[in-house]
Structure 1
Amino acid sequence: MDQKHQEDLSHIRSMMERSSRFISLSGLSGVFAGLSALIGGLYVYLLLKSNGLDYFNGEHKLYSVNLVAELVFIALIILVSALTFGIFFTIRKSRKYNLPIWTTATKKMLVNLAIPLVVGGVFCIALLYHQIYVLIAPATLLFYGLALINAEKYTFSDIKYLGFCELALGCVSLFFLGYGLVFWIIGFGVLHILYGLIVFKKYK
């Protein structure tokens, strides 16, 4: 009888978690988002070099309007690529385990994720408008970290640790202005891959 009680409780607990948390998130989404960031970051470095800008010489850099526009376009490509992989692997996982995707938990997670991201996006656009380029990379890390921590209560709790790492990296990068690309690659590339592998192994 006790064993049956335990099984019933485990089943109820599992049902409650499925209804209150978005659990279709795949670790592979993080891995491929990280790979997209790594490839994009490397391309940006080569682009700067081809424009006669030595990224690691420590000098103040001046960017032409055309170069800034190209950098923004690359950032959008990376974002779209990461979102595409995220959607693909989420749908694949939900079908594999017969999990619903569009639930109340999903909506709440997206809202909590979107608020810091939208505010951060506006802030970064303002930095771009005022040509304060050195603060854009730290700002993206900080607002992204806040977004992950804010959304944690509606998905895997592990995501908050990624959020704290992004916040810490963003804070450190504020004291090394001019090397934002390096911190950005670490935060959105390396950390995403590590997080994705951990989640994939833990929840596969």
Structure 2
Amino acid sequence: MGKIPLIRKNTATLKLGPPLVLAVALLASGCAHNPHTDAGDFGSSIAGDTKILSLINGMYEVASWNDGSKIHLPPAVSGRWVFLDGKVMSIIHNRTDPEAHKAAIGWGHGTVSKGHFFYRYPEHVTVKGATGEPTLELRSPWEGMRSFSVEWKGDGIEMTSESGQQTWVITPEGMVYTDKEWGPEKVYAQRRWKRISK
């Protein structure tokens, strides 16, 4: 008489095929797809974006303007930048050259998504030239949304554009915007802004 295979009833032992063994191993190691983990990451991302927006929100006033060779102060330079609930507005005046005054006014929208800040000025007006004979230009300074990666540094953030030509440092006290190719002339500009909203 041949041997009868041992059969145990009501046992928790389960024969696992190679694919199932691999899946269990990945799950145990934390490498498998886990919808709960993804949901947590998504929630964490939203919370992080909200925190960034909360810091950016506010009204700022130009404190100084460095053109690469000289630092100018108000009233030779002046301006306001406002970001509130996804709406953005910028007004900048440069009166350092009496024969070449320049003012730029833009308004549009912005947002933060997955740790990146995006904004654009679909409406933009540039006025330049001598006071008596100014020229007017109606054109957005760039096409589409400009994107910045955001990195927390202490209680502030440092934002860097995709090209690396623009950086923004924002803190509870104010912000510093540095542009290596600002405006149609692509000139260096660094503006320090103080936060004037609470």
Q: TM-score, normalised by structure 1?
A: 0.29
Q: Which has the higher strand share?
A: 2
Q: For the pair shown, which has the larger CA radius of gyration, 1 or 2?
A: 2
The higher-RCO structure (CA 8 Å, 6+ apart) is 1
Q: Which has the higher helix share?
A: 1
